[in-house]
């Protein structure tokens, strides 16, 4: 189902129509820090009446059991097996590259250690223990010492006989209750700067974590909910899933307008209540795009707002106009009204 359907005569479907499994990111979609994002809990509980619900997270700092407990405390009854984590994806990659029971140097927290231990690997924090690989994931307690031990273990490139380096994810940022904080990508980059090597990435936007989710939930028509274009939406696209970008987390309207091919969502929502609302059709007339109450036109190097209407419809129309032009956003003069951002506070 495309982002905007051209058949205006048909009933406007909701994003949930035809969906058998809803797969949701957590940070920025369900919660920010410890607290739930407005409307997320009630919306996901409502969606459960018509679809299976699962969660996919790149955050490697906690176990699947602790994440499930957190969601249950927020009012979303959840089992550990309904959580698909980047450490789980990392362990599957690791099992293809090292011997069973091998010693693995861990940079990260309980979520990563728990999955490695369950898979039968030995865990160390020291490069002096001759680890067979380094696995790196986010945890608030990761410090210089852990990063340095990883660098010591990764001095030799893998193609010259060095050991594998697997990162659970490379999200640059992570939403917290006080704002946006550095994510695992910044920590992986620190090690990369020291050793001049690139990590193999297990989580979003790579496909293994999505493939595990589809298999675990036996999904035939999944819908993925995310807040990041570069990981959530790009990963869902690579995995062949329809996707929702919800404007409650990292990426903002200006990022939507600039989204490259392969990172463009099927739906853009202000918050998860939009899952149940008819999604507006698109009417395209040459370089003019109308979505709901808003009309945007491409005029040479200018994006012209002919009718502002609802701000969310305006963003949808502007995005479609720019995306369909085949030109990058820096080739246009874009009015500030098009990327106004009243959504974060909702």
Known catalytic residues are 25, 27
> Residue 172 burial by CB count (10 A; 0-12/13-18/19+): exposed, middle or buried?
middle
Strand, helix or coil for residue 218: coil
Q: Are strands 222-226 and 179-182 parallel, antiparallel or unpaired?
A: unpaired
178-203: b or e for each residue (b if 16 or more CB lie within 10 Å)? eeeeebbbebbebbbeebebebbbbb
Strand, helix or coil for residue 271: coil
d(CA 287, CA 247): 26
List the one residue out of 235, 178, 238, 155 whose CA is nearest residue 203.
235
């Amino acid at each position: 189902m495309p982002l905007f359907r051209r058949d205006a005569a048909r009933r406007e479907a909701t994003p949930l129509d035809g969906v058998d499994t809803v797969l949701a990111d957590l940070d920025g979609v369900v919660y920010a820090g410890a607290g739930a994002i407005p409307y997320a809990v009630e919306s996901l509980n409502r969606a459960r009446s018509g679809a299976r619900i699962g969660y996919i997270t790149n955050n490697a700092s906690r176990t699947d059991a602790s994440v499930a407990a957190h969601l249950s405390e927020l009012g979303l009854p959840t089992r550990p097996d309904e959580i698909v984590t980047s450490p789980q994806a990392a362990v599957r990659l690791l099992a293809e590259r090292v011997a069973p029971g091998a010693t693995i140097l861990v940079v990260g927290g309980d979520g990563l250690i728990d999955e490695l231990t369950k898979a039968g690997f030995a865990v160390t924090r020291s490069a002096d223990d001759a680890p067979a690989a380094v696995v790196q994931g986010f945890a608030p307690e990761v410090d210089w010492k852990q990063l340095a031990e990883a660098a010591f273990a990764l001095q030799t490139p893998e193609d010259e006989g060095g050991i594998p380096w697997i990162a659970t994810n490379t999200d640059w940022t992570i939403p917290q209750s006080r704002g946006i904080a550095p994510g695992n990508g910044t920590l992986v980059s620190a090690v990369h700067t020291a050793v001049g090597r690139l990590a193999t990435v297990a989580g979003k936007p790579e496909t293994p974590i999505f493939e595990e989710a589809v298999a675990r939930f036996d999904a035939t028509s999944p819908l993925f909910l995310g807040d990041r274009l570069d990981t959530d939406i790009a990963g869902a696209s690579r995995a062949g899933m329809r996707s929702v970008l919800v404007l409650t987390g990292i990426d903002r309207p200006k990022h939507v307008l600039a989204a490259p091919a392969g990172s463009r969502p099927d739906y853009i929502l202000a918050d998860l209540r939009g899952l149940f609302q008819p999604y507006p059709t698109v009417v395209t007339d040459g370089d003019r795009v109308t979505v709901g109450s808003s009309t945007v036109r491409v005029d040479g190097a200018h994006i012209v707002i002919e009718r502002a209407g609802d701000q969310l419809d305006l963003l949808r129309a502007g995005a479609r106009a720019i995306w369909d032009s085949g030109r990058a956003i820096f080739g246009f003069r874009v009015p500030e009204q098009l990327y106004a951002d009243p959504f974060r506070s909702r």
